[in-house]
Structure 1
């Protein structure tokens, strides 16, 4: 064998070392790639966290700004007074179907209860009613027609108190609140149309649980009732100008006490008082209510009549 010729064992060792180097190189390359992927993933995570943090800060700042804006707007929003001609939270309709005029009260003012006829010659009827309430509709459709000539002649005064107790019973449209607001708008801008407008909302009353009448229909009812200040009334209905007042007045009726009566508070959507006494009879029998009115009138007359002097014996 020539000295320059490598042996088989030598060649085998060289091949083994070359193979080891190749494997080590592959392992190192794989490790570098894995490290690169880990660094890339970490960088992406850090960028995402920075974005979320900055986004959260921005959202937080925006939320604070929104809250501050609401507080500022609420603070500078002008207070809205109650409607004119409803200082008692109701509309007093008397002789000739004319409404007793009163000034608008400040938004934080307490209502001023109306004063019944101290002589007892005029029957005082007060009706608290929700325009969506079916029982309220039953009573008004049954009795307003027979009351109308008595009111015209001055024998009876009727004080209407629109309340919004069924606001959540109209498929989300808040009809009770909108209708009571519309009634307040009519009382404020065209009070002599109030009696007819109030009656019209019960003559064609929407069903409980339904959406009620739209604002456009309420405006048409006001016009059909003879209201002449249509522009102001339409704008008042669109703006919901007296909604806050309606809710406050309704809360007062529900919490009580009810003025000029022994009734502590409203317990449902209808309350009818005749000379301060609650009517609990039939809502669909006109004769039953008429008899109650006559009885209340007789009781009032008996309590206010001047006693006849007892004759004295001649000396």
Structure 2
């Protein structure tokens, strides 16, 4: 006969203590297993997140970094040579890993003017505004050639838009697909030069200047600009210019823009005095009789 009292009331003190210990052990084991499951779920979730991040970063890198391809045609020296009547010298594009080849110069009486420039550089803008007209006269008449090297050293000055690289790439696109309009395009780029530390011209505006320059193959040039077809070349040619040596001159490397060479000799005079630059050309070429004509005048 039972009295109706709970069973554990009949347990001894030691039995109750042992039962409590066993219960606590079971609870601890249940909690341990729960912790293991939660940890496994957390690690699995973090792994999925990490893999997703890695995949995302990889896709971004693959989509933005293209393997190095050939450089633009007509720029085997890393610059484009413009001659009489603004006709460009034609050359194949540099293959990856190839070194630039100095443009051939045959007539010592023809001034060989080379300009390394950045389209964001205000000093390049000063030189162009001062001397574009007189250089254009010399080139048109055959008294000089001008070799233009667009490089990218001022991306930091365009609020993250990498204007120097984009504009140099656009110049390479014109050189590749419509070289005889390069001089006109280069002139327009400086006539519309943005101020440093602004976002620069957007790609659509640059494409508008390409059209205004009378370039041919506009669809190909537009795609070239949109795709950044020659951005790898811009980076490589800029590195070559900054590290040197510069082909066809004793000048070791570009230390700033504009770097202007006449028959291989560096011009260090005023950027805002057309007569100073003309006098330098006269001196380098050797005599007034063999100097480009007509006589330069300061740009208005």
What RMSD, in angstroms, separates the aligned Cα atoms of the two structures?
3.3
Question: Is residue 169–residue 208 contact of structure 1 (8 Å, CA) maintained in 2?
Answer: yes
On the 8 A contact 2:68/2:232 being kept in 1, the answer is: no
Separation (CA, whole Å) in 1 of partners of 2:167 and 2:14: 87
1:58-77 mapped onto 2 (5 Å cutoff):
none
* Residue 46 (str. 1) matches residue 36 (str. 2): yes
Distance change >3 Å, CA 120–CA 105, structure 1 → 2: same
Pick aligned residue for 2:90 from 79, 101, 105:
101
Does structure 2 retain, via aligned residues, the 8 Å contact 1:166–1:269? no
Alignment counterpart, residue 277 of structure 2, candidates 269, 278, 289: 289
Q: CA 1:100–1:247 in structure 2 vs 1: closer, same or farther (change >3 Å)?
A: same
Query: Which of 217, 241, 248 pairs up with 1:229?
Result: 217
C-alpha offsets along residues 253-301 of structure 1, whole Å, 9 cap, x if unaligned? 1011112222101111320001111111111111111111111122698
> Number of residue pairs matched?
281
Aligned to 1:310: none
Which residue, out of 123, 135, 160, partners 2:148? 160
Q: Give 1:68 shift.
A: 9.2
Seen in structure 2, the aligned counterparts of structure 1 residues 270 and 30 have a Cα distance that, compared at 3 Å, is: farther
Match of 1:89 among 69, 78, 91: 78
The separation in 2 between residues aligned to 1:125 and 1:241, in whole angstroms, is 27
Give the structure 2 partner of residue 14 of structure 1: none
Deviation of 1:63 after TM superposition, in Å, equals: 7.7
Distance 2:198 2:21 in 1: 71
Give the secondary-structure state (helix, strand or coil) at the position aligned to 2:286: helix
The alpha carbon displacement at 1:150 in A equals 1.0
* 1:122 is aligned to 2:110: yes
Q: Alignment partner for residue 254 of structure 2, among 253, 263, 266? A: 266
Where does the alignment leave 5 or more consecutive residues of structure 2 unmatched? 1-7, 291-300
Structure of greater relative contact order (alpha carbons < 8 Å, 6+ residues apart): 2
* 1: CA distance, partners of 2:277 / 2:235: 29
Unaligned runs of 5+ in 1: 1-17, 303-315
Distance 1:171 1:20 in 2: 84
The structure whose Rg is larger is 1
> 1:216 and 1:25, CA in 2 relative to 1: closer, same or farther beyond 3 A?
farther
Q: Paired residue for 1:251? A: 239
Mapped partners of 1:288, 1:67: distance in 2: 53
Q: CA deviation at 1:103?
A: 1.7
Matched, 1:173 2:156: no
Conserved in 2, the CA contact under 8 Å of 1:120 and 1:301?
no
Task: Give the conservation status (yes or no) of the 8 Å contact 1:127–1:270.
Answer: yes
SS at match of 1:99: coil
Q: Structure 1 residue 37: deviation in Å?
A: 5.0
Measured against aligned partners, the alpha-carbon deviations of 1:220-241 in whole angstroms (never above 9, x if no partner) come to 1101111121100000000000
